[in-house]
Chains A and B, each alone.
Chain A
Amino acid sequence: MASSYDYDDASLDSRYARPPSAGQGGAGTDQGYDPNFVPDSVKTFVVHLYRHIREKNVYEIHQMYDGSFQRLSDRMFRESPWPSVEAIAPYVDNDHVFCLLYREMWFRHLYARLSPTGRQRVESWDNYCSLFSVVLHGVVNMQLPNQWLWDMVDEFVYQFQSYCQYRAKLKNKTEEELQLLRQYDQAWNVYGVLNYLQALVEKSAITDVLEREKEGLEQFTATDGYDYEGGTSNVLKMLGYYSMIGLLRVHCLLGDYHTGLKCLAPIDISQQGVYNVVIGSHISTIYHYGFANLMLRRYVEAIREFNKILLYILKYKQYHQKSPQYDQILKKNEQMYALLAICLSLCPQNNLVEENVNSQLRDKYNEKMTKMLRYDDEAYAVYDELFTYACPKFITPSAPVLEEPLTNYNQDAYRLQLKLFLYEVKQQQLLSGVRSFLKLYSTISVGKLAAYMEVDEPTLRTILMTYKHKMHAVDGDGKIIPNADVDFYISEDIVHVVESKPTKRYGDYFLRQILKFEEMISELDRIKLD
């Protein structure tokens, strides 16, 4: 499971130049780790897992994957890797695919508990290439739990992001590490990553499946993607599905929010779907969707989705306390509150946030939100702080230039996104003032309003037009969506304010009461009075 880390990952330094099989691990590996020693519990584990996979017993596989693997890791492999794949292969008939799966788990464990060396990163890339190639050739005939399949895609993107950070920090690299980078220049190259994800989406024909499902011609969501009857493999299909989310994530890391959202488009997030079966995939989807909408200035859309997921997490996080994903869930939860605070400061709304979410939000960010609304220097500092905390770990995708002078440029991508974001905030600087004034009046002349705001009339007109422009986003189809809770129009010289009041849902109320009374009446009818 991808572990959370601070913006600048301090553990990625050049101490771990030696691969662990050399026996002398760095500070991370247990002294005396023998990759060839297979404890009995591991023997049992792989034998049973292999059997369950062959028998397509998805439930048992899930128990072992989610439960036993974590327990064994906690007990025996807290600070060392699992036994090497060569050591366990004899117990599983040297099955090629099982070994690829085992290795994927092996590397994932390494990334989570220890620090991978440059060489290990490259080896992990090779493993993913082999694994995905096998899947793409359509020769994998097994049913695996969705949790596992999601974790594979999630980890793939995470390791890519981690590698981009790693190879962008050149200043303190040893000659050996630089040589490795030169030699394996194809490892984790951005084309490979994107093309594998794209290939999984295409080969699985998942967009067709989703289309047919809408017309009632296919069962997919109803069975969580599994095939209980026929037992056909769900691996390619689900990897294809999760790769759409993976593509959204990679595009966000590159700063291409528009294309990211397009990649996610086949998944309808206004409905329940397979994406919310595994909580990790649900959170990742909504986090990136919301972030992309924030950068596209579609604030209301972002607020709506953040609100829904934060409410969901509030209600259900207790059920995940024991799970290895718990830390990551909490971290994303906090980040989304920060993003929600940003959205609500840029685009105040009254009725979009549910009560409990709102009180959590106020607990965490009330002071900061007040500061952000002031739009002074302190405000920009708060916007900066929250954005930095909550944003994805942007990457520089191009290959490193491995000649002098060697620099660290891993923060360049982030700095650009932050700069452009703050630039947008600055452009909206005067809008908060306009909004407060508009809330006080139903009509006011342009001249008077200009005087109150201490600007001349032409400037006020431009401010009012800016308000209109910024508060009306353009959605993917070119439609204009109003975002503001306070709106206005100008007739010649008079500003007429229009405040959108929450409309009472009379229709809904009457329908419910009609049905309730009808029920009562039929009950009463049944009582016989003698």
Chain B
Amino acid sequence: MGREQQQVSYTVKQLVSVNPYNPDILSDLENYVNEQVSSQTYSLDANLCLLRLYQFEPGRMSTPIMVQILIKALMAMPASDFSLCLFLIPEQVQMQEQFKTLIVLSHYLETARFRQFWDEAAKRRSILEVVPGFEQAIQAYAIHVLSLTYQKVPRTVLAEAINIEGLSLDKFIEHHVAISGWVLEKSHGHSQLIVLPRNEFNYPELKKHTTDGVPFEDVTRIFPILS
């Protein structure tokens, strides 16, 4: 079964790169969306191809498929896939209830309003449940934004961002201490601080100063002089 699935997605990828402007592949692409959802994989190119074909053949648009594509795009954040998909969906369609909900959710994520996001997501479980892995993907995005911003983040801020509290949060933090190099500290006010791993965004000293580097070819120009 797994082998067959692999073959199907290989064929779809080929279709998208070799013969994308062809209405006959529309149903293959729709099946592929369902497959992405069930096997927790993702292909922006294939989904954009499908949205383009919907543009060319508005009569064949499928709202459930488009909703799935948008949810998958949300899960790809911080990449701007969600906007890329919206550019291809007609305005009247975006006025429909499900699309408006997703746009609101995207807005909260884009503006780092995590508390509002999780509140709204809880109210719209039915729409989001169809795509497994949604929660984890958003939590990964939240941690990404925190890692860009903080060297040391207060526990409360982390809790709000990933929507986990109490014992589950303890376990979550433990897991990342082991796997991702997080470190626990006590702040002045005796509340927990999580020290996030160093990267060039929260530790600017680490930013490679590429502009001051000199390309090797230029240095070779003075080799005759040096010898």
User: Would you mind naming 20 contact pairs between A and B with Cβ atoms under 8 Å apart?
Assistant: A190-B21, A256-B52, A256-B84, A258-B45, A258-B84, A424-B83, A458-B115, A458-B160, A462-B113, A465-B145, A466-B110, A468-B145, A469-B78, A487-B201, A489-B201, A490-B151, A502-B211, A503-B209, A507-B212, A515-B225
Given A191-B23, A256-B48, A472 contacting B201 (CB threshold 8 A): yes
CA of A415 to CA of B110, assembled, Å: 22
A-chain residues with CB within 8 Å of residue B21 when the two chains form the complex: 190-191, 194-195, 198
Hey, which chain B residues are within 8 Å of A191, CB to CB?
21-23, 56
Beta-carbon contact of B201 and A514 below 8 Å: no
Q: Which 9 A-B pairs have the closest CB atoms?
A: A465-B112, A507-B214, A255-B87, A194-B21, A468-B148, A498-B204, A489-B202, A474-B79, A491-B151
Whether B91 lies near A416 (C-beta < 8 A) is yes
CB-defined contacts of B115 to chain A, threshold 8 Å: 458
Query: Is there contact, CB below 8 Å, between B111 and A511?
Result: no
Contact of A505 with B211 in the complex, beta carbons under 8 Å = yes
Chain B residues whose CB sits within 8 angstroms of the CB of A469 once the complex forms: 78, 110, 112, 145, 148
Interface centre among A198, A262, A480 (most CB of B within 10 A): A480
A295 at the A/B interface (Cβ < 8 Å)?
yes
Q: Which residues of B contact A502 (CB under 8 A)?
A: 211
Interface centre among B56, B114, B115 (most CB of A within 10 A): B56
Q: Which residues in window 478-517 of A have CB below 8 A to B? A: 478, 480, 482, 487, 489-493, 498, 502-508, 511, 514-515
Of all chain A residues, the one with the shortest Cβ separation from B157 is A461
Residues of A within 8 Å of B88, CB to CB, are: 254-256
**Which chain A residue shows the least CB distance to B224?**
A518
When each residue 37-58 of chain B gets 1 if its CB lies under 8 Å from chain A and 0 otherwise, what string results?
0000000110011011001111
> Is A427 an interface residue, CB under 8 A from the partner?
yes
B86 an interface residue at 8 Å Cβ cutoff?
yes
Question: Which one of B20, B83, B111, B203 has the greatest number of beta carbons of chain A within 10 Å?
Answer: B111
Q: Are B87 and A190 in contact (CB under 8 A)?
A: no
- CB of A489 within 8 A of CB of B203, answer yes
Contact with B along A44-61 (1 / 0, CB 8 A): 000000000000000000
Closest chain B residue to A498 by CB distance? B204
Write the residues of chain B forming the contact surface with A, with a CB cutoff of 8 angstroms. Answer: 20-23, 44-45, 48-49, 51-52, 55-58, 78-80, 83-84, 86-88, 90-91, 107, 110-115, 145-146, 148-154, 157, 160, 187, 193, 201-204, 209, 211-214, 218-219, 221-222, 225
CB of A453 closer than 8 Å to a CB of B: no
| B56 near A190: Cβ-Cβ < 8 Å | yes
A439 within 8 A of B: no
For residue A246, give the distance in angstroms from its CB to the closest CB of chain B. 13
> Which residue of B22, B57, B150 has the most chain A CB atoms within 10 A of its CB atom?
B150
Q: CA A242 – CA B220 in complex, angstroms?
A: 38
Bound Cα distance from A190 to B21, whole angstroms = 9
A233 part of interface (Cβ distance < 8 Å): no
Tell whether A25 is near chain B: CB-to-CB under 8 Å.
no
Contact between B90 and A472, CB atoms less than 8 A apart = no
Cα-based distance from A470 to B154 in the complex (angstroms): 22
The residue from A256, A419, A427, A508 contacting B214, defined by CB atoms under 8 A apart: A508
In the assembly, what is the distance between CA of A392 and CA of B45, in Å? 23
- Assess whether A492 is in contact with B48, with CB atoms less than 8 Å apart: no
